[in-house]
Chains A and B, each alone.
Chain A
């Protein structure tokens, strides 16, 4: 019995070694290999679908909870102890103020840095050091930027927990995103266009101003919009800067205390009554609509001007 088994096993081995010639056997082996391929194809597809399913659940659940709270009152009321009197007005205006300061700052600083690195810097230790800094800053947790903001802007510069302190913190946080996107876009400007400009006697800055920047602008704007959408959704750095207080007014100037949408949502999440959870969901709907709109604009810009 066992001898027979061994024999047949040997036989199989022999068959495998000569499987190229043995058609029936090799085709069953191919069948098995293809079977594995199909199985894993399904598994990889399933893994990809996890993200989509989660997104669908998340959106559905949030809309279900928050939808009925999206009334005009929600946009006109300030925060309150009573859910029925609570609204998002201070948070929306705070976010607008913050973006109003952060947007021009990040754009100017980010594009300038990118132009310097792509068009002016020589390949020396300084430019390598700056690049190393930028790639490391991109990986620093946002809450650490919050600590920097708290120490530098709130305390040392004495700005307090103001719109300005929060905006400056956010600017530093999202700057690496704008720099990286702008550099990529500037590097993609064909060198023959720059050469044409130089060959007509244009100076370096004229070439940058009239050829490089117009060509790179869509990419730069896309990067800036994505960076700002990150800034709108960030919570932790502003908590550190001290934006979590009871704010029932819109900012009057750069030095006003303020709250932003994610922080108001965070405060509602922390309150015990179920209605506050629904308010949080309503706030999230508003926040997500703003972010999706910004993302859509960025994607449109990218597709429209993609060369």
Chain B
């Protein structure tokens, strides 16, 4: 009788050590993203708390004058001008990007022949990969002069130009996320409508867009969150004059614009101006955090089950 082979034999011990060590190492790497989040929140909280020891919270959220980089008594920390500037740019970007992005998504998902799609998709990817500094340059050298030839009273630094270019920047994001949502609508639902004699437009508007609505809306929210956090375009093109206004032709400053301006100036780590960067950063973080959660909620909560 043949001696049965032993299945109890130990493997080399170094191999067991490797097998035991690797998941631990990988877990530590994975936890880094948790630490990053914790780091961001703690960093912002700590200095923001210091900021609110000096500046009353109510003054911060209701004040309409922001002169954080002035000295002494002239310093005023009313954040509303920065928020109005940010919202002005974001709303303007939405006006540009939502119809164009959605239109492109519909075209690519429903109308475009496969060959055209294969040409346009990479172009949109390139557009999405262009650094914001390039868009900023585009805004002041091309878009602003172009707009000023129509609107002579337009300031050189203005919210309008910045918001148009921020809108252009987020078009690929809306187009590609919405297209994904629309393409995941199953074919048989479309075919049912075509079978009843619907035109393509009717299928798009009555079947595909409603079915993909959660994905489409969440792409809007994500893109606008991106617009809120956008920095270089607004820093270059919108100016650095915090003004509580909703007039798109005026020079304004966004939350991100202030942070850049402050970081580039000569301020000491202990000063109130320095702490103001964190307070504004916290405000910005909260805005984008809420919008990202909202986008996730929309796409999960209203997900169509096919």
User: Could you say which residues of chain A place their CB within 8 Å of the CB of B277?
Assistant: 147
Contact (A44, B103) CB under 8 Å given A37-B199, A239-B260, A284-B137: yes
Q: Which residues of chain B have C-beta atoms less than 8 A from A47's C-beta? A: 99-104, 107
CA distance A116 to B222 in the complex (A): 27
Q: How far is the CA of A62 from the CA of B137 in the complex (A)?
A: 9
CB-CB under 8 A from A232, the residues of chain B are 131
Q: Please provide the chain A residues from 7 to 44 with a CB less than 8 Å away from any CB of chain B in the complex.
A: 33-34, 36-37, 40-41, 43-44
Question: Does B18 lie within 8 Å of A143, measured CB to CB?
Answer: no
Say yes or no: is B14 at the interface (Cβ < 8 Å to chain A): no
Chain A residues whose C-beta falls within 8 Å of the C-beta of B134 in the assembled complex: 58, 62, 233, 265, 284, 287-288
Q: At the interface, yes or no: B15 with Cβ under 8 Å from chain A?
A: yes
With the chains together, A284 CA to B236 CA distance in Å? 15
The CA of A185 and the CA of B141, in the complex, are separated in Å by 41
Given contacts A47-B107, A135-B296, A139-B292, contact A235 B33 (CB under 8 A): no
Q: Are B175 and A51 in contact (CB under 8 A)?
A: yes
By a CB distance below 8 angstroms, the chain B residues around A51 are 100, 104, 123-124, 127, 168, 171-172, 175
**How many Å lie between the Cα of A181 and that of B25 in the bound state?**
20
If over half of A's interface residues share one DSSP class (helix, strand or loop), that class is named, otherwise mixed; here it is: helix
The reply to whether the CB of B56 lies closer than 8 angstroms to some CB of chain A is: no
In the complex, residue of chain A having the shortest beta-carbon distance to the beta carbon of B171: A51
A114 to chain B minimum Cβ distance, whole angstroms, is: 9
Are A143 and B140 closer than 8 Å at their CB atoms?
A: no
| A179 CB within 8 Å of chain B | yes
Contact B131 A233 (CB under 8 A): yes
> Beyond A48-B107, A55-B126, is A291–B131 a contact (Cβ under 8 Å)?
yes
Q: Could you give, for residues 155-173 of chain A, a 1 whenever the CB lies within 8 Å of some chain B CB and a 0 otherwise?
A: 1000000000000000010
Chain A min CB distance to B224 (Å)? 11
* A284 CA / B136 CA spacing, docked (Å): 11
Tell me, yes or no, whether B129 is within 8 Å of chain A by CB: yes
Query: Which listed residue, B137, B264, B284, touches A144 by the CB 8 Å rule?
Result: B284
Within residues 49 to 97 of chain B, which ones have a CB less than 8 A from any CB in chain A?
none
B208 beta carbon closer than 8 Å to chain A:
no
Pairwise interchain contact A55-B127, C-beta atoms closer than 8 A: yes
CA distance A55 to B15 in the complex (A): 54
* B111 near A50: Cβ-Cβ < 8 Å: no
A33-B199, A130-B30, A269-B236 are known contacts. Are A295 and B125 too (CB-CB below 8 A)?
A: yes
> What separation, in Å, do the CA atoms of A233 and B142 have in the docked complex?
20
In the complex the two chains form, what is the Cα distance from A61 to B141 in whole Å?
A: 9
Q: Which residues on the A side are within 8 Å of B172 (C-beta)?
A: 51
* 10 pairs from A and B in contact (CB 8 Å cutoff): A41-B107, A51-B172, A62-B134, A139-B291, A148-B36, A148-B43, A205-B22, A239-B264, A265-B133, A269-B140
Residues of chain B having any CB pair with chain A under 8 Å: 15, 18-19, 22-23, 25-27, 29-34, 36-37, 39-40, 43-44, 47, 99-104, 106-108, 111-112, 120, 122-127, 129-134, 136-138, 140-142, 168, 171-172, 175, 199-202, 204, 222, 225-226, 228-232, 235-236, 256, 259-260, 263-264, 269, 277-278, 281, 284-285, 288-289, 291-293, 295-296
